[in-house]
Amino acid sequence: MSITSNALFGGPDKENNFLRNKLLEYIQQTPDNGEICWMCYYFNEPILLDALIRASQRGVNIELILDGNPRSPEINQASLAALKDYPAIKITTIITKPLWKYLGINWHAHMHSKLYYFSLSRPCVFIGSYNPTAGPQHIKQSLIENIGDHSISHNALVKIDERDVIACLLKYFKNMKTHNHMSWSRFSSINNNTHKYRQWDINFLPRYKSHPVHRLFQSKDQNAHIKCAISHLKGPGIHRPLTRAIKSGKSVEVILGSTKRRVSQNKLAYLEKHKIRYHQINTDNHALMHNKFIIYKSDMEHCVLFGSFNWSRRSWWLNHEILACSRNKEIVAGFEQRWNELIATI
């Protein structure tokens, strides 16, 4: 039975460009003199770009935050070049300079958060894993080989229309536009507090306090069942929360992609050694397993964690990321249904 919720999913088993078309619908619904605020790692989707330009021309205030130096810079450079003729669309590009460089560690951080806000009659914001990028009909094949085809990739966006949660996310958006956050945001109060609402916990990274996933996995909730959809599993020690959860009596099951750049053979061998059950989704058609969510179920807690975060050293400790926890029953059920659909494709 299909479950209707605000949890939306893309993938090769879904309508092509489903998530793109959902964002397009909300751009078109935003009233004249309304507001659209977006932040994402990659943005190169001509239909959405044209829709934003048209919205700006009819009076919508549009602000974009993009990573200024992503893994494939050409993708954002093309959109930025196209937007030069439309100065009414305010653009902030972020190139972070983390404190680590002063310690002699040359790790480059990214603005990896994904957030899409629309000031409708009932304002809403989408957060999740989706970067608005087109397929091979618009982006050259060498770039598709690197970043995947997000018109068909496994992704999630969750619609939030609770006003207090929206206000928190917009505060984060506005904070990201300031020039002085780049090195010191890991020490800021907005990044180190868990922002708690009735059915939501909102977290922002980087932070100096412990990672929210660590805290949940190390809880004394021994009979918990944990299901993780993991886009990237890479970096020294990044897998340890999984084994710690196993040792504390929790059960763990993992869905991974099949690209070696994102999931190394060493990590697969580690999962096998520690008897962590895992599944791999075939990504040969460039439909990446780009989902990033954790379903946590026990007698004490039933929730889903999702957002932009990867299981990688850069994502956990350096990148700007959003990590949300929802206890909304429909949203949790939506993710559980998607988990079952993914398992059925393997």
Task: Say what the pLDDT of residue 285 is.
Answer: 83
- Over the chain, what is the mean pLDDT? 92
Domain 209-344 -> CATH class: alpha beta
pLDDT, residue 1, reads: 44
Model pLDDT, residue 259: 84
**pTM of the entire predicted model:** 0.95
- The residue-averaged pLDDT of 229-254 equals 92
Two domains, one topology: 7-187 and 209-344: yes
Q: CA–CA separation, 73 vs 63, rounded Å? A: 20
Query: Residue 266 pLDDT more than 70?
Result: yes
pLDDT in tens, 57-66: 999 999 999 9
- Count of CB atoms within 10 A of residue 257's CB? 25
Kindly report the CATH class assigned to 7-187: alpha beta
Domain boundaries, the chain: 7-187, 209-344
Assess whether pLDDT exceeds 80 at residue 245. Answer: yes
Q: What does the pLDDT read at residue 162?
A: 97
